[in-house]
Structure 1
Amino acid sequence: MHDHPHDDVPTHSFDRQYWEQHWEQAPSEVTPAATPAAEAAVAGSVPNPYLVRAAAALAPGTALDAGCGTGAEAVWLAGRGWHVTGADISDTALAQAAERAVGQAVPGGRISWIQADLVSWEPGRRFDLVITNYAHPAMPQLAFYERILDWVAPGGTLLIVGHGTGHEAHGGGHEAALTGSDEGSGHPPAEATVTLGDIQRILDPEDWAIQVAQEQDRTLTGPDGRAHVLADVVVQATRRP
């Protein structure tokens, strides 16, 4: 167990009802404040910058976005030659993701959208790239990360982007929609946070080579025009062949 600075706040269920409500109420746009081009971007279409960095060194193959939300990362990967499975518990999010793919003219057959509870769902295959961005199923956060390890193929890449414990403001769900935080606290729910050391400890050095392990503050501009700071925890690792 880990002591969190906001353990006294109510817990969140992160079940299907929670996430349906989350995406129905999510703001329409959050863009990286430090990226000038983002101001002109389609709402929510800017992928996570850690994914952009990781994918630059990878040849396109098969990818799984575990907890894909409205599909910014999945659509971005598909537009660059990947064959992507986007899995999420929310039908509302997946409907928006499918609309995004059509709007960005993703070639047919590049993306499969799957409504799935990541607590129990099994993909039945392994992928060259498995990513998860701020996803919080109804299970302990580290247990979720341990689940998705098995879904990475030998030689494949894992990219975890999660919430650290030092947030000044909450980035919300999968693509930093500014909702879902502990009411009035400006923090993500304690059970959704994780430390860098926590993630590193579940990656057995005999099985994994870690390329990136960092904690980094990132500033986003919300639909209200205000700057919001996220404390990101980022781990990129390769499964040894």
Structure 2
Amino acid sequence: MTTEQFWDERYGQSDRIWSGEPNAALVREVTGLTPGTALELGCGEGGDAIWLAGQGWRVTASDISRIALARAAEHAEAQGVADRIDWQRHDLAATFPAGRYDLVTAGFLYSPELPRTEILRTAAEAVTPGGTLLILGHGPWPDWHQGPRPDIELPTPDELLADLALPGWQVLTCSEHERTQTGPDGQPLVRIDNTLKLRRPTTA
């Protein structure tokens, strides 16, 4: 099974996987930035891209799943922001959206065998001078997690910062935080997520 088939199969299992709401960490970190051009990597069903467009950003949103992109486009149309979002299908291990952007964001960009660090370095290159790179990730698998734990590295924000090796970039946020989610039995469960937010030098 290819990566595209994997994600199309997952999205095809139900009418909606995600809540449709923007990620709270993205809202927190982007609020206050001057809207411009934005690139979202791994946009899924479009919750973050639609929120960004509603805040005045002109968004390029990419995902590997055609099903997810079609669903996201429908949601954007319903929210009245379809004209502010360019949906693009990319297998980021092979192709990458063209151009430079004032904001590049990657939220929970994980997939088996995905060269995540290399993709995030490419994402950094796509940030305009003075622009912002925002990466949201998971902390270690929690003790309560059940089911398979894919062989996916979950670095801390400090480890990711070191791996990206971006000299001269200003570190705006490099932190971990708790997030409450609903477990299979309907009870609240706490997971650790992390945020890395960087500003590219204006002379880059």
Stretches of structure 1 that go unaligned for 5 or more consecutive residues are: 1-12, 31-43, 171-182
Q: Is the alpha carbon distance of 1:66 and 1:232 closer, same or farther for their aligned partners in structure 2, counting shifts above 3 Å?
A: same
Q: Distance in 2 between matches of 1:119 and 1:215?
A: 27
| Matched AA of 1:236 | K
| Partner residue, 1:21 | 9
Contact 2:117 2:164 survives alignment (8 Å): no
Tell me which protein shows more helix as a share of its residues.
Answer: 2
| Matched AA of 1:88 | D
What is the aligned counterpart of 2:129 among 154, 160, 171? Answer: 154
- Deviates further, 158-167 or 196-205: 196-205
Secondary structure of the 2:12 match is helix
| Matched AA of 1:70 | E
Q: Is the alpha carbon distance of 1:72 and 1:224 closer, same or farther for their aligned partners in structure 2, counting shifts above 3 Å?
A: farther
| Matched AA of 1:113 | W
Answering whether residue 107 of structure 2 is matched by residue 133 of structure 1, we say: yes
| Partner residue, 1:195 | 156
Q: Distance in 2 between matches of 1:25 and 1:224?
A: 20
Q: CA deviation at 1:214?
A: 0.9
| Partner residue, 1:52 | 27
| Matched AA of 2:90 | A
| Partner residue, 2:193 | 232
| Matched AA of 1:117 | D
| Partner residue, 2:86 | 112
Q: CA deviation at 1:147?
A: 2.3
CA RMSD of aligned residues (A): 2.3
Alignment coverage as a number of residue pairs? 201
Contact 1:87 1:114 survives alignment (8 Å): yes
Q: CA deviation at 1:153?
A: 1.0
Q: CA deviation at 1:141?
A: 2.7
Q: Is the alpha carbon distance of 1:190 and 1:197 closer, same or farther for their aligned partners in structure 2, counting shifts above 3 Å?
A: farther
Q: Is the alpha carbon distance of 1:123 and 1:140 closer, same or farther for their aligned partners in structure 2, counting shifts above 3 Å?
A: closer
Shift >6 Å, 4+ stretches: none
Q: CA deviation at 1:111?
A: 0.2
Q: Is the alpha carbon distance of 1:219 and 1:79 closer, same or farther for their aligned partners in structure 2, counting shifts above 3 Å?
A: same
Q: Is the alpha carbon distance of 1:14 and 1:228 closer, same or farther for their aligned partners in structure 2, counting shifts above 3 Å?
A: farther
| Partner residue, 2:60 | 85
Q: CA deviation at 1:80?
A: 0.9
Q: Distance in 1 between matches of 2:197 and 2:85?
A: 23
* 1:100-136: CA deviation from partner (whole Å, max 9, x where unpaired): 1012121x42000001111121322110001111122
The TM-score normalised by the length of structure 1 is 0.75
Answering whether residue 96 of structure 2 is matched by residue 122 of structure 1, we say: yes
Secondary structure of the 2:174 match is strand
- Deviates further, 191-200 or 207-216: 191-200
Secondary structure of the 2:152 match is helix
Q: Distance in 2 between matches of 1:169 and 1:240?
A: 41
Matches within 5 A, 1:160-175: 160-168=135-143
Q: Distance in 2 between matches of 1:205 and 1:95?
A: 35
